Structure 1
Amino acid sequence: MSSTPAPSPCGPPPPSRRQQLRAWWADRHALPRFGFWLISRGIAVLAACLVLYLLNGFLIGWAPAYEVMTGITSPAAVHPQWCAWPLSLTGWAVIPAIIGAAAGYVITEQIQAHHARELGDVLDELRYLAERPQTPPSAGGSP
């Protein structure tokens, strides 16, 4: 007689956090293009922007850093300038580019969703509806 352990009635143990994170990271290719970019490369770009803003916040102050980033104040007007110039360029070019890319992606997805039907199919349906005899609605009573 062999004594093999009986299978557990509860099933296998749940995956660990590490396994869940690995599975999530492996599934990122199933995301739409913008979602994939945001997770794979966008996090690094946004983190760099955040680090640059935090560095300037500590060195020149939070309000001046915001004003430099949004273009209200020139980076030449604050001290130290060595960190204000990259922040100014980031606020002037990088952040609008990310926002524009996101908006363009959303608009493109909406346009593609509405162009799901071929033009020939739409024209055939319109011809069919035009050729079909239309019955006038009944007036409800006889004359």
Structure 2
Amino acid sequence: MSKGAFRNVTVWLALFGLPLTGIWATVMAIASQHLGWGKAYEIMVGISSPVGSPEPGWAWSVSLGGWLFVPALVGGVAGSMIGGRMDRRRSQDTDEIKNEIINGFETMGRP
């Protein structure tokens, strides 16, 4: 993994990931107080439905967060890492990439 890819991930996490995670942790902590930790977790991952919950506002918040926030966080980190790798590859000359591929196959050996 290149240093450039980690640099992009670090910037993304600092600007977006940490604030969103803090907000999500706060919502989960408050919802856990109202619903109970087990029930809040089950609603977040989709095991239980938020319909019919004694605290529907918190239940729906946890449910929507589980469907929207968690995939966005994972996708953002993955996208930043992949983007860094692509930027690094684009800056390389085509002959450099071909030589890397050829040398990689030569070091693997032949069956």
Identify whether the pair has TM-score above 0.5, normalized to the shorter chain.
Answer: yes
1:60 corresponds in structure 2 to 35
Q: Per the alignment, in what secondary structure is the counterpart of residue 63 of structure 2?
A: helix
Q: Per the alignment, in what secondary structure is the counterpart of residue 76 of structure 1?
A: coil
Q: Per the alignment, in what secondary structure is the counterpart of residue 32 of structure 1?
A: helix
Contact 2:8 2:84 in 1 (8 A): no
TM-score in terms of structure 2 length: 0.71
TM-score in terms of structure 1 length: 0.56
1:89 corresponds in structure 2 to 64
1:72-114 deviation digits (Å, cap 9, x = unpaired):
1111132111111111111101110110111111122223334
User: In the superposition, relative to structure 1, how do residues 117 and 33 fare at CA in structure 2: closer, same or farther (>3 Å)?
Assistant: closer
Structure 1 segments unaligned to the other structure (5+ residues): 1-30, 127-143
Contact 1:53 1:65 in 2 (8 A): yes
Q: CA deviation at 1:37?
A: 3.0
Letter in 2 for 1:89: L
Say which structure, 1 or 2, has more relative contact order (CA 8 Å, 6+ apart): 2
Q: Per the alignment, in what secondary structure is the counterpart of residue 47 of structure 2?
A: coil
User: In the superposition, relative to structure 1, how do residues 104 and 32 fare at CA in structure 2: closer, same or farther (>3 Å)?
Assistant: same
Matches within 5 A, 1:1-143: 32-119=7-94, 122=95
Contact 1:64 1:78 in 2 (8 A): no
- Percent identical: 27
Query: Separation in 1 of the partners of 2:51 and 2:42?
Result: 12
Q: Per the alignment, in what secondary structure is the counterpart of residue 77 of structure 1?
A: coil
Q: Rg bigger for which structure?
A: 1
- For these two proteins, the number of residue pairs brought into alignment is 93
2:3 corresponds in structure 1 to none
1:112-132 deviation digits (Å, cap 9, x = unpaired):
33444222xx18x87xxxxxx
